[in-house]
Amino acid sequence: MDTARQVAGTRDHYDQITAGWRLILGEDLHWGVFEGTDDDLEMATERLTDLMADFAAPEGARVLDVGCGVGGPATHLAQRFGWHITGISISPVGIETAKQKAAESDVAERLDFRIGDAMDLDFAADSFDVVWAMESSHLMPDKARLVSECHRVVKPGGTVVLCDLMLEERLTRQRVFELREDLLQLQKSFGVAELDTLAGYSELFTQAGLGEIEMRDVGESVVPTIEAWEANIDAEHAELRRNFGDERVGDFLESCRILRRLYASEGWSYGIIRGRK
């Protein structure tokens, strides 16, 4: 699949699933870091956001949120740190939802959401203190271009910080072939994705000119997210059937079962990485 078609497919996919995903994944639309059995999904997703923020910058920063979803993490960051955040996404539905949420918040003046392509950023060089890519890079067909663009628009001394689903080791072609049915099933729920390793992202950061690279693997801590999603499906099943349809709900439940298996046996993980310009 060529890059333009993949980007268009990702945009259309997320336009279609946003309403249903908010019921399953919560307003942050990403995985969470769980520390105890009493954690709920909202606590865990905010903890992941805060962990990523600890890698990033001090209060008052100007931040570009690459792949901002429906604006949940951006709103949290603006409230907690006083950051001024520009969020971009290729999904019109996501951006409109984020704008509505921002208008209803107490930090609307610090939030700006717009359509944008992370691999071709419409910003001048050295524009932001932090470039933040939260769980969006796995959907980017050209990760080297993504990291290069993030490096271009961050200020000297600024930070590029990224978190996402990752692999402990890259899959061989043979293993991809063996897992093809599982991967195609995941594609139905999550779109066309390609995972890399923390070491792979570190190479991309270095090649783009970023230094002082720090990494953290939180793979074991994110696995309970899957159970939380399944619980939300049980709790919101009637509404999901109306918004999502029986087929999509069934596909997502099957994807949860596959993810649990992959985390247990295939070396799937979750990582956070940052570098400075």
As a whole number of angstroms, the distance between CA 15 and CA 143 comes to: 22
What does the pLDDT read at residue 161? 97
Q: Calculate the dihedral angle through the C-alpha atoms of 258, 218, 273, 186, rounding to the nearest 10 degrees.
A: 10
Q: Which structural domain range is residue 200 located in?
A: 3-276
What does the pLDDT read at residue 9? 52
What does the pLDDT read at residue 83? 93
**Cα torsion angle, 27, 182, 179, 266, sign:** positive
What does the pLDDT read at residue 219? 93
What does the pLDDT read at residue 13? 58
What does the pLDDT read at residue 192? 86
Cβ–Cβ < 8 Å for 151, 66: no
Q: State the DSSP string of 221-239.
A: HHTHHHHHHHHHHHHTHHH
Our count of domains for the chain comes to 1
The two beta strands, 84-89 and 211-217, are: unpaired
Would you call 188 helix, strand, or coil by DSSP? Answer: helix
As a whole number of angstroms, the distance between CA 126 and CA 241 comes to: 46
As a whole number of angstroms, the distance between CA 276 and CA 129 comes to: 10
Residue stretches of the chain with pLDDT short of 70:
1-17, 57-60
As a whole number of angstroms, the distance between CA 51 and CA 222 comes to: 13
Q: What is the CATH number of the domain that holds 153?
A: 3.40.50.150
